[in-house]
Chains A and B, each alone.
Chain A
Protein backbone atom coordinates (compact mmCIF):
# COMPACT_ATOMS: atom_id res chain seq x y z
CA UNK A 1 0.00 0.00 0.00
CA UNK A 2 1.36 3.38 -0.89
CA UNK A 3 1.30 6.24 1.52
CA UNK A 4 -1.30 8.00 -0.60
CA UNK A 5 -3.83 5.37 0.37
CA UNK A 6 -3.19 5.54 4.08
CA UNK A 7 -3.75 9.27 4.24
CA UNK A 8 -7.44 9.70 3.64
CA UNK A 9 -7.80 11.90 0.61
CA UNK A 10 -10.67 14.34 0.32
CA UNK A 11 -13.43 13.03 -1.89
CA UNK A 12 -12.50 13.83 -5.47
CA UNK A 13 -15.67 15.39 -6.78
CA UNK A 14 -14.27 16.00 -10.24
CA UNK A 15 -14.16 12.26 -10.96
CA UNK A 16 -17.86 12.07 -10.25
CA UNK A 17 -18.54 15.14 -12.37
CA UNK A 18 -16.61 13.66 -15.28
CA UNK A 19 -18.31 10.29 -15.07
CA UNK A 20 -21.85 11.23 -14.09
CA UNK A 21 -23.33 12.46 -17.41
CA UNK A 22 -22.14 9.45 -19.41
CA UNK A 23 -23.18 6.95 -16.77
CA UNK A 24 -26.57 8.57 -16.27
CA UNK A 25 -27.54 8.73 -19.95
CA UNK A 26 -26.11 5.29 -20.65
CA UNK A 27 -27.86 3.70 -17.71
CA UNK A 28 -31.18 5.40 -18.29
CA UNK A 29 -31.47 4.76 -22.02
CA UNK A 30 -29.53 1.58 -22.50
CA UNK A 31 -29.15 -0.56 -19.39
CA UNK A 32 -32.58 0.12 -17.89
CA UNK A 33 -34.41 -0.56 -21.19
CA UNK A 34 -32.41 -3.75 -21.72
CA UNK A 35 -33.27 -4.89 -18.22
CA UNK A 36 -36.85 -3.80 -18.90
CA UNK A 37 -36.94 -6.02 -21.96
CA UNK A 38 -35.75 -9.00 -19.97
CA UNK A 39 -38.37 -8.32 -17.33
CA UNK A 40 -41.10 -7.62 -19.85
CA UNK A 41 -40.64 -11.02 -21.42
CA UNK A 42 -41.84 -12.61 -18.20
CA UNK A 43 -45.15 -10.78 -18.23
CA UNK A 44 -48.25 -11.01 -20.34
CA UNK A 45 -51.13 -8.66 -20.80
CA UNK A 46 -54.23 -10.39 -19.43
CA UNK A 47 -57.36 -8.23 -19.52
CA UNK A 48 -55.09 -5.25 -20.14
CA UNK A 49 -53.21 -5.86 -16.93
CA UNK A 50 -49.57 -6.90 -17.02
CA UNK A 51 -49.43 -10.19 -15.17
CA UNK A 52 -46.38 -12.19 -14.22
CA UNK A 53 -46.44 -15.47 -16.12
CA UNK A 54 -42.93 -16.79 -15.56
CA UNK A 55 -41.50 -18.47 -18.63
CA UNK A 56 -44.87 -18.87 -20.34
CA UNK A 57 -43.95 -16.54 -23.20
CA UNK A 58 -40.89 -18.63 -23.94
CA UNK A 59 -43.06 -21.73 -23.84
CA UNK A 60 -45.34 -20.10 -26.41
CA UNK A 61 -42.40 -19.08 -28.55
CA UNK A 62 -40.95 -22.58 -28.67
CA UNK A 63 -44.08 -24.65 -28.14
CA UNK A 64 -46.72 -22.97 -30.29
CA UNK A 65 -46.01 -24.10 -33.85
CA UNK A 66 -47.08 -20.73 -35.27
CA UNK A 67 -44.39 -18.94 -33.27
CA UNK A 68 -41.70 -21.59 -33.18
CA UNK A 69 -41.75 -22.20 -36.94
CA UNK A 70 -41.23 -18.50 -37.52
CA UNK A 71 -38.53 -18.27 -34.89
CA UNK A 72 -36.47 -21.21 -36.15
CA UNK A 73 -36.86 -20.01 -39.71
CA UNK A 74 -35.64 -16.54 -38.74
CA UNK A 75 -32.78 -17.97 -36.69
CA UNK A 76 -31.60 -20.24 -39.49
CA UNK A 77 -31.86 -17.43 -42.04
CA UNK A 78 -29.89 -15.21 -39.71
CA UNK A 79 -27.18 -17.88 -39.42
CA UNK A 80 -26.98 -18.13 -43.19
CA UNK A 81 -26.80 -14.34 -43.39
CA UNK A 82 -23.85 -14.47 -40.99
CA UNK A 83 -22.15 -17.36 -42.83
CA UNK A 84 -22.26 -15.46 -46.12
CA UNK A 85 -20.71 -12.45 -44.43
CA UNK A 86 -17.93 -14.51 -42.90
CA UNK A 87 -17.21 -16.31 -46.17
CA UNK A 88 -17.40 -13.33 -48.51
CA UNK A 89 -17.18 -10.02 -46.68
CA UNK A 90 -14.21 -10.71 -44.45
CA UNK A 91 -11.96 -12.47 -47.00
CA UNK A 92 -12.69 -9.78 -49.59
CA UNK A 93 -12.04 -7.11 -46.97
CA UNK A 94 -8.71 -8.71 -46.06
CA UNK A 95 -7.75 -9.04 -49.73
CA UNK A 96 -8.51 -5.39 -50.44
CA UNK A 97 -6.64 -4.27 -47.33
CA UNK A 98 -3.63 -6.41 -48.25
CA UNK A 99 -3.57 -4.89 -51.72
CA UNK A 100 -4.03 -1.38 -50.40
CA UNK A 101 -1.24 -1.70 -47.89
CA UNK A 102 1.30 -2.85 -50.43
CA UNK A 103 4.10 -0.29 -50.44
CA UNK A 104 4.33 2.37 -53.10
CA UNK A 105 0.84 1.70 -54.38
CA UNK A 106 -0.39 4.76 -56.20
CA UNK A 107 -3.91 6.13 -55.70
CA UNK A 108 -4.25 4.13 -52.48
CA UNK A 109 -6.16 6.94 -50.79
CA UNK A 110 -8.51 7.18 -53.76
CA UNK A 111 -9.34 3.46 -53.75
CA UNK A 112 -9.80 3.48 -50.00
CA UNK A 113 -12.20 6.39 -50.10
CA UNK A 114 -14.20 4.93 -52.98
CA UNK A 115 -14.51 1.44 -51.56
CA UNK A 116 -15.69 2.81 -48.22
CA UNK A 117 -18.49 4.87 -49.80
CA UNK A 118 -21.18 2.13 -49.78
CA UNK A 119 -20.66 1.78 -46.03
CA UNK A 120 -21.77 5.34 -45.39
CA UNK A 121 -24.99 5.00 -47.39
CA UNK A 122 -28.23 4.39 -45.60
CA UNK A 123 -30.04 1.09 -45.90
CA UNK A 124 -32.91 2.82 -47.60
CA UNK A 125 -30.65 3.79 -50.46
CA UNK A 126 -28.80 0.49 -50.61
CA UNK A 127 -31.94 -1.61 -50.49
CA UNK A 128 -33.70 0.38 -53.15
CA UNK A 129 -30.72 0.80 -55.48
CA UNK A 130 -30.15 -2.93 -55.61
CA UNK A 131 -33.82 -3.61 -56.00
CA UNK A 132 -33.75 -1.38 -59.06
CA UNK A 133 -30.58 -2.93 -60.46
CA UNK A 134 -31.76 -6.49 -59.99
CA UNK A 135 -35.25 -5.73 -61.19
CA UNK A 136 -36.12 -7.51 -64.43
CA UNK A 137 -38.20 -4.45 -65.27
CA UNK A 138 -35.46 -1.88 -65.58
CA UNK A 139 -33.06 -4.42 -66.96
CA UNK A 140 -29.66 -3.23 -65.76
CA UNK A 141 -28.66 -6.62 -64.40
CA UNK A 142 -29.94 -8.66 -67.38
CA UNK A 143 -28.29 -6.20 -69.76
CA UNK A 144 -24.96 -6.38 -67.93
CA UNK A 145 -25.10 -10.14 -67.80
CA UNK A 146 -25.91 -10.54 -71.45
CA UNK A 147 -22.98 -8.27 -72.29
CA UNK A 148 -20.68 -10.87 -70.76
CA UNK A 149 -22.65 -13.71 -72.33
CA UNK A 150 -24.42 -14.90 -69.22
CA UNK A 151 -27.93 -13.79 -70.13
CA UNK A 152 -29.31 -17.23 -69.43
CA UNK A 153 -28.13 -17.11 -65.84
CA UNK A 154 -30.18 -14.09 -64.93
CA UNK A 155 -33.07 -14.63 -62.58
CA UNK A 156 -35.13 -12.22 -60.51
CA UNK A 157 -33.06 -13.22 -57.50
CA UNK A 158 -34.81 -11.05 -54.94
CA UNK A 159 -38.14 -12.58 -55.87
CA UNK A 160 -37.12 -16.22 -55.68
CA UNK A 161 -37.44 -18.00 -52.39
CA UNK A 162 -34.27 -20.01 -52.79
CA UNK A 163 -32.06 -17.09 -53.82
CA UNK A 164 -33.50 -14.03 -52.10
CA UNK A 165 -31.65 -14.40 -48.79
CA UNK A 166 -28.29 -15.03 -50.43
CA UNK A 167 -28.81 -12.08 -52.75
CA UNK A 168 -29.61 -9.83 -49.79
CA UNK A 169 -26.62 -11.13 -47.85
CA UNK A 170 -24.37 -10.28 -50.78
CA UNK A 171 -25.89 -6.81 -50.98
CA UNK A 172 -25.12 -6.35 -47.31
CA UNK A 173 -21.59 -7.61 -47.97
CA UNK A 174 -21.25 -5.03 -50.73
CA UNK A 175 -22.31 -2.36 -48.29
CA UNK A 176 -20.12 -3.30 -45.34
CA UNK A 177 -16.93 -4.61 -46.88
CA UNK A 178 -15.37 -1.23 -46.11
CA UNK A 179 -15.31 -1.90 -42.37
CA UNK A 180 -13.11 -5.03 -42.36
CA UNK A 181 -11.04 -3.39 -45.07
CA UNK A 182 -10.33 -0.31 -42.94
CA UNK A 183 -9.62 -2.21 -39.73
CA UNK A 184 -7.35 -4.78 -41.38
CA UNK A 185 -5.64 -2.00 -43.31
CA UNK A 186 -4.87 -0.21 -40.06
CA UNK A 187 -3.59 -3.46 -38.55
CA UNK A 188 -1.36 -4.13 -41.56
CA UNK A 189 0.08 -0.64 -41.44
CA UNK A 190 0.99 -1.09 -37.80
CA UNK A 191 3.26 -4.05 -38.53
CA UNK A 192 6.78 -2.65 -38.06
CA UNK A 193 9.01 -2.44 -41.10
CA UNK A 194 11.76 -4.37 -39.32
CA UNK A 195 9.61 -7.49 -39.19
CA UNK A 196 8.90 -7.29 -42.91
CA UNK A 197 12.53 -6.59 -43.70
CA UNK A 198 13.67 -9.52 -41.58
CA UNK A 199 11.27 -11.74 -43.52
CA UNK A 200 12.65 -10.47 -46.79
CA UNK A 201 16.19 -11.18 -45.65
CA UNK A 202 15.08 -14.74 -45.09
CA UNK A 203 13.70 -14.83 -48.61
CA UNK A 204 10.01 -14.76 -47.63
CA UNK A 205 8.23 -12.45 -50.04
CA UNK A 206 4.95 -12.00 -51.84
CA UNK A 207 2.19 -14.47 -51.02
CA UNK A 208 4.31 -16.50 -48.62
CA UNK A 209 5.07 -13.34 -46.70
CA UNK A 210 1.38 -12.58 -46.36
CA UNK A 211 0.43 -16.07 -45.17
CA UNK A 212 3.40 -16.66 -42.87
CA UNK A 213 4.17 -13.23 -41.46
CA UNK A 214 1.33 -10.78 -41.84
CA UNK A 215 -1.69 -13.01 -41.36
CA UNK A 216 -0.62 -14.33 -37.94
CA UNK A 217 0.05 -10.75 -36.88
CA UNK A 218 -3.39 -9.51 -37.86
CA UNK A 219 -5.32 -12.47 -36.42
CA UNK A 220 -6.51 -10.45 -33.39
CA UNK A 221 -7.99 -7.87 -35.75
CA UNK A 222 -9.71 -10.62 -37.71
CA UNK A 223 -11.14 -11.86 -34.43
CA UNK A 224 -12.53 -8.42 -33.63
CA UNK A 225 -14.02 -8.15 -37.11
CA UNK A 226 -15.68 -11.53 -36.77
CA UNK A 227 -17.36 -10.60 -33.53
CA UNK A 228 -18.41 -7.20 -34.88
CA UNK A 229 -19.89 -8.96 -37.92
CA UNK A 230 -21.69 -11.39 -35.65
CA UNK A 231 -23.25 -8.69 -33.49
CA UNK A 232 -24.15 -6.62 -36.53
CA UNK A 233 -25.72 -9.51 -38.41
CA UNK A 234 -27.83 -10.81 -35.55
CA UNK A 235 -29.05 -7.29 -35.02
CA UNK A 236 -29.74 -6.55 -38.68
CA UNK A 237 -33.16 -5.36 -39.71
CA UNK A 238 -33.00 -2.32 -41.95
CA UNK A 239 -31.78 -3.88 -45.18
CA UNK A 240 -34.42 -6.61 -45.18
CA UNK A 241 -37.09 -4.11 -44.19
CA UNK A 242 -36.21 -1.65 -46.94
CA UNK A 243 -35.73 -4.25 -49.66
CA UNK A 244 -38.44 -6.78 -48.84
CA UNK A 245 -40.72 -5.04 -46.35
CA UNK A 246 -41.61 -6.20 -42.86
CA UNK A 247 -43.06 -9.44 -44.23
CA UNK A 248 -39.56 -10.42 -45.40
CA UNK A 249 -40.84 -11.99 -48.56
CA UNK A 250 -41.02 -14.01 -50.68
CA UNK A 251 -42.84 -16.26 -48.25
CA UNK A 252 -40.67 -15.31 -45.23
CA UNK A 253 -37.59 -16.67 -46.96
CA UNK A 254 -35.60 -13.59 -45.95
CA UNK A 255 -37.03 -13.29 -42.46
CA UNK A 256 -34.28 -12.70 -39.90
CA UNK A 257 -34.56 -12.12 -36.16
CA UNK A 258 -34.79 -8.34 -36.53
CA UNK A 259 -37.79 -8.44 -38.86
CA UNK A 260 -39.36 -11.23 -36.81
CA UNK A 261 -39.05 -9.06 -33.71
CA UNK A 262 -40.51 -6.07 -35.53
CA UNK A 263 -43.58 -8.01 -36.67
CA UNK A 264 -44.10 -9.60 -33.27
CA UNK A 265 -43.84 -6.26 -31.51
CA UNK A 266 -45.79 -3.98 -33.79
CA UNK A 267 -47.85 -6.44 -35.72
CA UNK A 268 -48.14 -6.34 -39.45
CA UNK A 269 -51.16 -6.70 -41.68
CA UNK A 270 -53.01 -9.75 -40.33
CA UNK A 271 -50.84 -10.19 -37.28
CA UNK A 272 -51.58 -8.27 -34.11
CA UNK A 273 -48.73 -6.61 -32.27
CA UNK A 274 -47.78 -8.15 -28.95
CA UNK A 275 -45.18 -6.22 -26.93
CA UNK A 276 -44.61 -9.09 -24.54
CA UNK A 277 -43.86 -11.56 -27.30
CA UNK A 278 -41.66 -8.89 -28.86
CA UNK A 279 -39.75 -8.62 -25.61
CA UNK A 280 -39.50 -12.41 -25.48
CA UNK A 281 -37.93 -12.51 -28.92
CA UNK A 282 -35.63 -9.61 -28.04
CA UNK A 283 -34.57 -11.54 -24.94
CA UNK A 284 -33.74 -14.57 -27.07
CA UNK A 285 -31.70 -12.34 -29.38
CA UNK A 286 -29.96 -10.92 -26.33
CA UNK A 287 -28.96 -14.40 -25.20
CA UNK A 288 -27.87 -15.45 -28.70
CA UNK A 289 -25.63 -12.39 -29.04
CA UNK A 290 -24.36 -12.81 -25.49
CA UNK A 291 -23.54 -16.47 -26.20
CA UNK A 292 -21.66 -15.51 -29.35
CA UNK A 293 -19.71 -12.80 -27.56
CA UNK A 294 -18.85 -15.20 -24.73
CA UNK A 295 -17.66 -17.85 -27.18
CA UNK A 296 -15.44 -15.22 -28.73
CA UNK A 297 -14.11 -13.87 -25.45
CA UNK A 298 -13.41 -17.18 -23.76
CA UNK A 299 -12.76 -19.65 -26.55
CA UNK A 300 -11.17 -17.57 -29.28
CA UNK A 301 -9.66 -14.44 -27.84
CA UNK A 302 -7.74 -16.22 -25.10
CA UNK A 303 -6.12 -18.50 -27.68
CA UNK A 304 -5.05 -15.71 -30.00
CA UNK A 305 -1.42 -14.91 -29.64
CA UNK A 306 -0.65 -11.25 -29.45
CA UNK A 307 2.69 -9.97 -30.50
CA UNK A 308 4.15 -6.84 -29.05
CA UNK A 309 6.80 -4.89 -30.79
Chain B
Protein backbone atom coordinates (compact mmCIF):
# COMPACT_ATOMS: atom_id res chain seq x y z
CA UNK B 1 0.00 0.00 0.00
CA UNK B 2 1.07 3.59 -0.35
CA UNK B 3 3.11 5.64 2.05
CA UNK B 4 0.24 8.01 2.72
CA UNK B 5 -1.71 5.45 4.74
CA UNK B 6 1.13 4.32 6.95
CA UNK B 7 2.79 7.42 8.31
CA UNK B 8 4.38 6.81 11.72
CA UNK B 9 2.15 9.37 13.45
CA UNK B 10 -0.98 7.79 12.15
CA UNK B 11 0.06 4.29 13.12
CA UNK B 12 1.07 5.43 16.60
CA UNK B 13 -2.34 6.97 17.08
CA UNK B 14 -3.98 3.78 15.83
CA UNK B 15 -1.94 1.70 18.26
CA UNK B 16 -2.80 4.05 21.13
CA UNK B 17 -6.54 3.72 20.52
CA UNK B 18 -6.34 -0.04 20.06
CA UNK B 19 -4.22 -0.56 23.15
CA UNK B 20 -6.57 1.61 25.18
CA UNK B 21 -9.56 -0.41 24.05
CA UNK B 22 -7.76 -3.71 24.59
CA UNK B 23 -7.15 -2.67 28.18
CA UNK B 24 -10.82 -1.79 28.62
CA UNK B 25 -11.78 -5.16 27.14
CA UNK B 26 -9.40 -7.27 29.19
CA UNK B 27 -9.22 -5.39 32.48
CA UNK B 28 -12.37 -6.84 34.08
CA UNK B 29 -11.40 -10.38 33.12
CA UNK B 30 -7.88 -10.01 34.46
CA UNK B 31 -9.17 -8.44 37.64
CA UNK B 32 -11.38 -11.44 38.38
CA UNK B 33 -8.81 -14.10 37.58
CA UNK B 34 -6.07 -12.27 39.48
CA UNK B 35 -8.08 -11.74 42.62
CA UNK B 36 -9.45 -15.26 42.66
CA UNK B 37 -6.02 -16.47 43.75
CA UNK B 38 -5.66 -14.03 46.62
CA UNK B 39 -6.52 -14.18 50.28
CA UNK B 40 -9.65 -12.42 51.41
CA UNK B 41 -8.13 -9.32 52.92
CA UNK B 42 -5.71 -8.91 50.04
CA UNK B 43 -8.68 -8.81 47.69
CA UNK B 44 -10.00 -5.81 49.53
CA UNK B 45 -6.76 -4.10 50.46
CA UNK B 46 -5.08 -4.10 47.07
CA UNK B 47 -7.49 -5.32 44.41
CA UNK B 48 -5.27 -4.22 41.55
CA UNK B 49 -2.07 -6.02 42.44
CA UNK B 50 -1.34 -9.52 41.14
CA UNK B 51 -1.12 -12.33 43.69
CA UNK B 52 2.24 -12.61 45.41
CA UNK B 53 3.48 -15.58 47.48
CA UNK B 54 2.29 -13.63 50.55
CA UNK B 55 -1.23 -13.07 49.36
CA UNK B 56 -1.67 -16.30 47.39
CA UNK B 57 -4.56 -18.33 48.70
CA UNK B 58 -6.58 -20.87 46.71
CA UNK B 59 -9.33 -21.06 49.32
CA UNK B 60 -11.88 -19.86 46.78
CA UNK B 61 -11.25 -22.82 44.53
CA UNK B 62 -11.42 -25.33 47.34
CA UNK B 63 -14.75 -23.86 48.44
CA UNK B 64 -16.13 -24.04 44.94
CA UNK B 65 -15.00 -27.61 44.52
CA UNK B 66 -16.42 -28.61 47.85
CA UNK B 67 -19.74 -26.80 47.57
CA UNK B 68 -20.96 -26.55 44.05
CA UNK B 69 -20.92 -29.64 41.91
CA UNK B 70 -18.96 -27.87 39.22
CA UNK B 71 -17.53 -30.94 37.55
CA UNK B 72 -21.02 -32.20 36.90
CA UNK B 73 -22.06 -28.77 35.59
CA UNK B 74 -19.10 -28.77 33.24
CA UNK B 75 -20.03 -32.17 31.99
CA UNK B 76 -23.63 -31.06 31.40
CA UNK B 77 -22.56 -27.93 29.56
CA UNK B 78 -20.17 -29.93 27.45
CA UNK B 79 -22.75 -32.55 26.54
CA UNK B 80 -25.34 -29.95 25.65
CA UNK B 81 -22.96 -27.76 23.65
CA UNK B 82 -21.23 -30.54 21.75
CA UNK B 83 -24.48 -32.42 21.14
CA UNK B 84 -26.29 -29.36 19.79
CA UNK B 85 -23.28 -28.35 17.76
CA UNK B 86 -23.10 -31.77 16.15
CA UNK B 87 -26.74 -31.76 15.12
CA UNK B 88 -26.74 -28.13 14.01
CA UNK B 89 -23.74 -28.66 11.75
CA UNK B 90 -24.86 -32.03 10.38
CA UNK B 91 -28.52 -31.16 9.74
CA UNK B 92 -27.67 -27.62 8.72
CA UNK B 93 -25.04 -28.72 6.21
CA UNK B 94 -27.40 -31.32 4.74
CA UNK B 95 -30.18 -28.80 4.29
CA UNK B 96 -27.77 -26.18 2.97
CA UNK B 97 -26.49 -28.71 0.43
CA UNK B 98 -29.99 -29.57 -0.75
CA UNK B 99 -30.89 -25.89 -1.09
CA UNK B 100 -27.74 -24.85 -2.92
CA UNK B 101 -27.26 -27.92 -5.10
CA UNK B 102 -30.63 -28.97 -6.44
CA UNK B 103 -33.31 -27.08 -8.27
CA UNK B 104 -36.73 -28.22 -7.17
CA UNK B 105 -40.10 -26.68 -6.64
CA UNK B 106 -40.30 -24.72 -3.40
CA UNK B 107 -36.53 -24.31 -3.12
CA UNK B 108 -36.47 -20.58 -2.41
CA UNK B 109 -39.60 -20.86 -0.27
CA UNK B 110 -37.89 -23.49 1.89
CA UNK B 111 -34.84 -21.26 2.15
CA UNK B 112 -36.98 -18.35 3.26
CA UNK B 113 -38.84 -20.52 5.75
CA UNK B 114 -35.57 -21.62 7.33
CA UNK B 115 -34.19 -18.07 7.33
CA UNK B 116 -37.20 -16.82 9.31
CA UNK B 117 -35.55 -18.09 12.47
CA UNK B 118 -32.58 -15.75 12.11
CA UNK B 119 -34.82 -12.79 12.77
CA UNK B 120 -37.34 -14.15 15.24
CA UNK B 121 -35.79 -15.31 18.50
CA UNK B 122 -36.79 -18.77 19.67
CA UNK B 123 -37.24 -17.42 23.20
CA UNK B 124 -40.61 -16.01 22.29
CA UNK B 125 -41.84 -19.56 21.94
CA UNK B 126 -40.75 -20.46 25.47
CA UNK B 127 -44.29 -20.80 26.81
CA UNK B 128 -45.18 -23.41 24.22
CA UNK B 129 -41.79 -25.11 24.38
CA UNK B 130 -42.14 -25.62 28.11
CA UNK B 131 -45.60 -27.08 27.70
CA UNK B 132 -44.34 -29.38 24.99
CA UNK B 133 -41.46 -30.55 27.16
CA UNK B 134 -43.75 -31.08 30.13
CA UNK B 135 -46.13 -33.09 27.95
CA UNK B 136 -43.34 -35.29 26.61
CA UNK B 137 -41.65 -35.67 29.98
CA UNK B 138 -38.42 -34.05 28.82
CA UNK B 139 -38.30 -31.34 31.49
CA UNK B 140 -35.05 -31.48 33.43
CA UNK B 141 -33.27 -33.53 30.81
CA UNK B 142 -30.34 -32.47 28.69
CA UNK B 143 -32.20 -33.79 25.63
CA UNK B 144 -34.66 -30.92 25.91
CA UNK B 145 -31.84 -28.40 25.79
CA UNK B 146 -30.12 -30.12 22.87
CA UNK B 147 -33.35 -30.15 20.84
CA UNK B 148 -34.10 -26.49 21.50
CA UNK B 149 -30.55 -25.35 20.77
CA UNK B 150 -30.45 -27.38 17.58
CA UNK B 151 -33.57 -25.62 16.37
CA UNK B 152 -32.12 -22.30 17.47
CA UNK B 153 -28.82 -22.78 15.65
CA UNK B 154 -30.13 -24.22 12.39
CA UNK B 155 -31.34 -21.07 10.58
CA UNK B 156 -28.01 -19.22 10.71
CA UNK B 157 -26.10 -22.40 9.92
CA UNK B 158 -28.17 -23.14 6.82
CA UNK B 159 -27.90 -19.54 5.69
CA UNK B 160 -24.13 -19.29 6.00
CA UNK B 161 -23.31 -22.78 4.74
CA UNK B 162 -25.54 -22.58 1.68
CA UNK B 163 -23.71 -19.41 0.60
CA UNK B 164 -20.45 -21.28 0.94
CA UNK B 165 -21.62 -24.41 -0.81
CA UNK B 166 -22.58 -22.38 -3.87
CA UNK B 167 -18.87 -21.73 -4.33
CA UNK B 168 -17.93 -25.43 -4.53
CA UNK B 169 -17.20 -26.17 -8.18
CA UNK B 170 -19.89 -27.98 -10.17
CA UNK B 171 -17.25 -29.73 -12.25
CA UNK B 172 -15.96 -31.50 -9.22
CA UNK B 173 -19.40 -32.73 -8.23
CA UNK B 174 -20.24 -33.76 -11.77
CA UNK B 175 -16.95 -35.62 -12.03
CA UNK B 176 -18.00 -37.48 -8.90
CA UNK B 177 -21.38 -38.29 -10.44
CA UNK B 178 -19.77 -39.65 -13.58
CA UNK B 179 -17.58 -41.84 -11.42
CA UNK B 180 -20.74 -43.27 -9.98
CA UNK B 181 -20.75 -41.67 -6.55
CA UNK B 182 -24.18 -41.41 -4.99
CA UNK B 183 -25.49 -37.97 -3.98
CA UNK B 184 -24.85 -38.85 -0.35
CA UNK B 185 -21.22 -39.68 -0.99
CA UNK B 186 -20.77 -36.49 -3.02
CA UNK B 187 -22.03 -34.56 -0.04
CA UNK B 188 -20.03 -36.34 2.65
CA UNK B 189 -16.84 -37.05 0.69
CA UNK B 190 -16.51 -34.06 -1.65
CA UNK B 191 -18.46 -31.10 -0.38
CA UNK B 192 -18.18 -31.32 3.40
CA UNK B 193 -14.36 -31.34 3.53
CA UNK B 194 -14.26 -28.31 1.23
CA UNK B 195 -16.44 -26.11 3.43
CA UNK B 196 -14.59 -26.89 6.65
CA UNK B 197 -13.56 -23.25 7.36
CA UNK B 198 -17.17 -22.17 7.03
CA UNK B 199 -18.19 -24.91 9.42
CA UNK B 200 -15.70 -23.61 11.98
CA UNK B 201 -17.24 -20.15 11.73
CA UNK B 202 -20.71 -21.55 12.19
CA UNK B 203 -19.44 -23.65 15.08
CA UNK B 204 -18.16 -20.61 16.98
CA UNK B 205 -21.26 -18.54 16.31
CA UNK B 206 -23.44 -21.44 17.41
CA UNK B 207 -21.37 -22.52 20.36
CA UNK B 208 -21.00 -19.23 22.24
CA UNK B 209 -24.70 -18.48 22.77
CA UNK B 210 -25.39 -22.10 23.71
CA UNK B 211 -22.62 -22.31 26.29
CA UNK B 212 -23.58 -18.95 27.75
CA UNK B 213 -27.34 -19.32 27.68
CA UNK B 214 -29.11 -18.81 30.97
CA UNK B 215 -32.72 -18.66 29.81
CA UNK B 216 -33.41 -22.22 28.69
CA UNK B 217 -31.41 -24.01 31.41
CA UNK B 218 -33.26 -21.86 33.94
CA UNK B 219 -36.63 -22.76 32.48
CA UNK B 220 -36.24 -26.23 30.99
CA UNK B 221 -33.58 -27.91 33.11
CA UNK B 222 -33.01 -26.23 36.46
CA UNK B 223 -32.65 -29.46 38.45
CA UNK B 224 -29.42 -30.24 40.26
CA UNK B 225 -28.45 -33.05 37.91
CA UNK B 226 -28.91 -31.07 34.70
CA UNK B 227 -27.58 -27.63 35.59
CA UNK B 228 -25.17 -26.12 33.11
CA UNK B 229 -22.08 -24.18 34.17
CA UNK B 230 -23.72 -20.86 33.41
CA UNK B 231 -26.75 -21.61 35.52
CA UNK B 232 -24.65 -23.26 38.22
CA UNK B 233 -22.38 -20.22 38.47
CA UNK B 234 -25.38 -17.90 38.63
CA UNK B 235 -26.98 -19.84 41.47
CA UNK B 236 -23.67 -20.34 43.25
CA UNK B 237 -22.99 -16.61 43.14
CA UNK B 238 -26.44 -15.95 44.52
CA UNK B 239 -25.76 -18.18 47.50
CA UNK B 240 -22.21 -17.08 48.18
CA UNK B 241 -22.52 -13.34 47.55
CA UNK B 242 -20.45 -12.47 50.59
CA UNK B 243 -17.81 -15.14 50.12
CA UNK B 244 -15.72 -13.22 47.64
CA UNK B 245 -13.01 -15.84 47.28
CA UNK B 246 -15.52 -18.44 46.24
CA UNK B 247 -17.39 -16.11 43.92
CA UNK B 248 -14.23 -14.97 42.12
CA UNK B 249 -13.02 -18.56 41.81
CA UNK B 250 -16.38 -19.66 40.39
CA UNK B 251 -16.28 -16.84 37.86
CA UNK B 252 -12.73 -17.73 36.80
CA UNK B 253 -13.72 -21.36 36.37
CA UNK B 254 -16.63 -20.32 34.19
CA UNK B 255 -14.42 -18.08 32.06
CA UNK B 256 -11.64 -20.59 31.37
CA UNK B 257 -13.28 -23.23 29.14
CA UNK B 258 -14.84 -20.75 26.71
CA UNK B 259 -11.62 -18.80 26.60
CA UNK B 260 -9.63 -21.87 25.64
CA UNK B 261 -12.17 -22.95 23.03
CA UNK B 262 -12.19 -19.45 21.59
CA UNK B 263 -8.42 -19.23 21.35
CA UNK B 264 -8.35 -22.60 19.62
CA UNK B 265 -11.00 -21.60 17.10
CA UNK B 266 -10.14 -17.93 16.61
CA UNK B 267 -7.82 -18.47 13.65
CA UNK B 268 -10.46 -20.46 11.81
CA UNK B 269 -13.07 -17.91 12.81
CA UNK B 270 -11.27 -15.03 11.16
CA UNK B 271 -10.61 -17.06 8.05
CA UNK B 272 -14.25 -18.05 7.88
CA UNK B 273 -15.56 -14.53 8.39
CA UNK B 274 -13.24 -12.83 5.98
CA UNK B 275 -13.92 -15.26 3.16
CA UNK B 276 -17.54 -15.90 3.61
CA UNK B 277 -21.18 -15.20 3.59
CA UNK B 278 -21.17 -13.12 6.74
CA UNK B 279 -19.54 -10.22 5.00
On whether the beta carbons of B24 and A30 are closer than 8 Å, the reply is no
Q: Which of B214-239 contact A (CB under 8 A)?
A: 214-215, 219, 230, 233-234, 237
> With the chains together, A278 CA to B270 CA distance in Å?
40
On whether the beta carbons of B154 and A121 are closer than 8 Å, the reply is no
On whether the beta carbons of B151 and A125 are closer than 8 Å, the reply is no
On whether the beta carbons of B18 and A12 are closer than 8 Å, the reply is no
On whether the beta carbons of B124 and A14 are closer than 8 Å, the reply is no
> With the chains together, A139 CA to B44 CA distance in Å?
8
| Chain A residues with CB below 8 A from B148, complex form | 29
Minimal beta-carbon separation of B262 from chain A (angstroms):
5
Q: Which of B253-279 contact A (CB under 8 A)?
A: 254-255, 258-259, 262-263, 266, 270, 273-274, 276, 278-279
On whether the beta carbons of B31 and A124 are closer than 8 Å, the reply is no
On whether the beta carbons of A182 and B273 are closer than 8 Å, the reply is yes
The size bracket of the interface on B is 35 or more
| Chain B residues with CB below 8 A from A33, complex form | 122, 125-129, 132
On whether the beta carbons of B119 and A231 are closer than 8 Å, the reply is yes
A86 beta carbon closer than 8 Å to chain B: no
Query: Which residue on B lies nearest to A29, using beta carbons?
Result: B151
Minimal beta-carbon separation of A61 from chain B (angstroms):
15
A interface, CB within 8 angstroms of B? 12, 14-15, 17-19, 21-23, 25-26, 28-37, 40, 92, 95-96, 99-100, 102-107, 109, 111-125, 128-130, 132-133, 138-140, 143, 174, 177, 182-183, 185-187, 189-190, 193, 196-197, 200, 205-206, 209, 221, 227, 231, 235, 237-238, 241-242, 258, 265-266, 275, 278-279, 282-283, 285-286, 289-290, 293
| Contacts beyond the supplied A183-B279, A190-B279: 4 A-B pairs with Cβ under 8 Å | A34-B124, A92-B21, A114-B25, A125-B255
Q: List 17 A-B contacts (CB under 8 A).
A: A15-B102, A30-B151, A30-B155, A100-B18, A111-B18, A114-B25, A115-B25, A118-B29, A183-B273, A183-B279, A193-B1, A200-B4, A221-B279, A231-B121, A235-B121, A275-B127, A282-B123
B interface, CB within 8 angstroms of A? 1-2, 4-6, 10-11, 14-15, 17-19, 21-22, 24-26, 28-29, 31-32, 43-44, 47-48, 87, 90-92, 94-95, 97-99, 102, 104, 110, 113-114, 116-117, 119-129, 131-132, 147-148, 150-152, 154-155, 158, 182-184, 187, 208, 211-215, 219, 230, 233-234, 237, 247, 251, 254-255, 258-259, 262-263, 266, 270, 273-274, 276, 278-279
Report the 3 A-B pairs with minimum CB-CB distance, sorted nearest first: A36-B128, A33-B125, A29-B151
